[in-house]
Amino acid sequence: MNTLTDRYVFAALSSIPEQQRGDIDRELRASIADAVDARLDAGEPPADAENAVLAEFGDPQRLAARYADRPLYLIGPELYPDWRRILRILLLTVVPLAFVAATLVRMASDPEDPAAAFGAAISASITALVQVTFWVTLAFAVIQRTGTGRKEGLKQWTPGMLPQIQRHSGISLSDTIAAVIVLAFFIGLLLWQRVGSLFYLDGEPVLVLQEQLWNFWLPCIIVLLTLEAVFAVVVYAAGRWTYALAAVNAALALLFTVPVLWLLANERVFDWSFLSNVDWGAAAANWIGTVTAAAVAVAGLWTIVDGFRKARKTAGQAAPPQQASR
């Protein structure tokens, strides 16, 4: 008949490598016997003493992990900072790239359905997020269990790795990814104008933007939007806004806003033939141009002001307190 101690030791040894079981079996049984004897000497009944000792020893799986020096977690505190750092970098690059790639592929194969292209891009982004998280976590779990980097992480820590003190910088990974995805979507939408349209007449696409824009302006705008996405990543990597970054932000905003407003003022943006498919009235061209120009101007101005506002806020937080006068 198996005793309670036999069952406990069996459960503990079941997850320990074969070559270690003999020594741990003897050591564990001796520890349990000593603790039970101490309780028997105090006058406890044998069954109660054994049960109380095993309750104090706790879960046999946890006890076995301590004996075998095997962690009961996927990623321990030594590797967690490296795991988080690498995961953030990969998510910030792979997810937006997956969004852009899926958008372009779907638009090329089915230019008449922009909603499907957007849905495919969202699906690809979610898949990329799950896959990156899974494989990075799996790699670090293997490192954790093989012992690589368990004492000091993957990289030797030095004081130079200390981050800058940040207080409410407003720069988060989720905001950065969202900004890059939005910019990528607009880039894909512009590229899609080469092969499709929001409006169709007798099965043929009706252009919304003038074709001659592709000779110079639309390629330039796509480059600027790409630079905006890169800049969003740079700001996130910097961890805080500075006046230099605010100046670059303002330059990018002006490079986009001024030419677009000039093109709108000279009626060189929209191909108004698309209005033949909608019943928006004779004055539709005027209010569409006005609303678009106002939106572009407000967005550009807000982008510039917001950048300098964040830089000033960061500079104020970083300024050392003044010495009190004696």
Q: Is residue 254 part of a domain?
A: yes
Domain's final residue, options 51, 67, 83: 67
Q: Is residue 181 part of a domain?
A: no
Length of the chain in terms of residues written: 326
Number of domains in the chain: 2
Segment 312-320 long-range contacts (CB within 8 Å, at least 24 positions apart): 313/168, 313/241, 314/166, 314/169, 314/240, 314/241, 314/242, 315/242, 315/243, 317/165, 317/166, 317/167, 317/168, 318/164, 318/165, 318/240
For the chain, the maximum distance between any two Cα atoms, rounded to a whole number of angstroms, is: 103
Domain's final residue, options 35, 67, 99: 67
The residue segments making up the domain with residue 43 are 4-67
Q: Are 282 and 236 in contact (CB under 8 A)?
A: no
Q: Is residue 59 part of a domain?
A: yes
Q: Is residue 135 part of a domain?
A: no
Closest CA to 93 of 236, 198, 192, 267: 236
Q: What's the chain's average pLDDT?
A: 78
Please calculate the CA angle 131-135-138 and round it to the nearest 5 degrees.
140
Flag whether the pTM goes above 0.75. Answer: no
Q: Are 82 and 155 in contact (CB under 8 A)?
A: yes
C-alpha–C-alpha distance, residues 180 and 93, integer Å: 9
Domain's final residue, options 47, 67, 87: 67
**Whether residue 250 has pLDDT greater than 90:** yes
Q: Is residue 165 part of a domain?
A: no
Higher pLDDT, 45 or 151: 45
pLDDT value, residue 72 = 56
| Residue 231: both structure tokens together | 């800049």
| Residue 47: both structure tokens together | 């069954």
Span 252-294, pLDDT tens digits: 999 999 999 999 999 899 887 766 666 665 567 778 888 889 9
Closest CA to 232 of 175, 280, 159: 175
**Percent of residues, the chain, with pLDDT higher than 70:** 74
Q: Is residue 131 part of a domain?
A: no
Q: Is residue 311 part of a domain?
A: yes
Span 188-240, pLDDT tens digits: 778 777 666 656 666 666 678 888 888 889 889 989 998 998 899 888 888 78
C-alpha–C-alpha distance, residues 307 and 302, integer Å: 8
Distances (CA, A) of 259 to 159, 183, 299: 47, 18, 14
Q: Is residue 250 part of a domain?
A: yes
